[in-house]
Chains A and B, each alone.
Chain A
Amino acid sequence: MSVACLQMVESVASGVLYSHHPYNLLDDNIIVSAVWGLGPYAVDGHITPDTLVVSKDPESVVIESKISHKPVQLVSNPDGGLMEIPVAIDRCDAACLRPEQVQTLAEYARKLEEHYRCAQDIEWAMDPTGRLLVLQTRPLRVQATLDEASEALSPPVEGYPVLVARGRWPSLAWVAARYTMCVTRTT
């Protein structure tokens, strides 16, 4: 275990970028989420983030934009650690990102996915000068659920009925569903 010590970024807004839908294999759009302040509230469920869906090809077009109510934010405590403060009343229901900033982030997602050659799960932050920074990128585990969309991708093999399907984690059934679609020959 190593512990990375990085210069603290006093984010005015932050969030997560997915370069691909996290569980729908067929959905190749970029997903941008954003909250006011520091990043933990973007991922811990404390605040519903703004969520934007941006098409990847051929040009970044915002397909869907849900701007949520964000009444509180995390900021640095002068004594160390973080503290929650209210968001200014006129910003609670305002979008954290301007359209051109969404475009910049979508471009980051596209470039990172291209560089690493797999879908990316990215943490981003906007510093007080408005600079958009990538804090971290890691491979996005696209968890294919056996919904209608992904069933269309992997149709049953002819002559082999499906015995076990729709496994859900956390369970061994998930492992079974993921690695071995259980089939048996009918003849």
Chain B
Amino acid sequence: MTQRLRNGSIDVESPRVSMRSSAIGEDSELSFAGQYLSLLNVPENQLLQSYKFIVASVYTPRAISYPSTRGFVTKTSP
């Protein structure tokens, strides 16, 4: 995976990326705006760790409670 990320990375000396969630259900009935983690200025050696943090952000108390406090029940994780 690291290799694939490298292949897609931009050709500069020290590429930095912005990593943002894109989840199923985002912008459907509920916006989910700001519910999941975004990480800015991620260097190459922190890509995988940052990816894990963002995927794990689906399970923060805030993100889990978001649909239910708005009258929705979700059984599937985004």
Contacts and interface: CB of A to CB of B under 8 A. Distances in A.
B31 A5 contact: no
B3 to A, nearest CB: 14
A139 B20 contact: no
Contacts of B15: 7
A5 to B, nearest CB: 4
B40 A1 contact: no
A141 B70 CA distance: 13
A3 B33 contact: no
A50 B9 CA distance: 34
Contacts of B10: 7
B71 interface: yes
Interface residues of B, number: 36
A89 interface: no
Given A3-B54, A6-B18, A138-B27, A80 B42 contact: yes
A138 B22 CA distance: 12
A9 B77 CA distance: 30
Given A3-B19, A80-B41, A43 B54 contact: no
A114 to B, nearest CB: 18
Contact of A7 (B17, B31, B46, B47): B17
Interface in B32-59: 33-34, 36, 39-43, 46-47, 51, 54-55, 58
A36 to B, nearest CB: 15
B47 A1 contact: no
A141 B71 contact: no
Interface string B5-35: 1001010000111111111101100110110
Given A40-B40, A138-B33, 5 more contacts: A8-B41, A77-B41, A81-B39, A141-B31, A169-B69
25 contacts: A1-B36, A1-B78, A2-B22, A3-B21, A4-B19, A4-B21, A5-B18, A5-B42, A7-B17, A8-B17, A8-B18, A8-B41, A38-B40, A77-B41, A79-B43, A80-B41, A80-B46, A81-B42, A82-B40, A121-B31, A136-B20, A138-B33, A169-B70, A172-B71, A175-B71
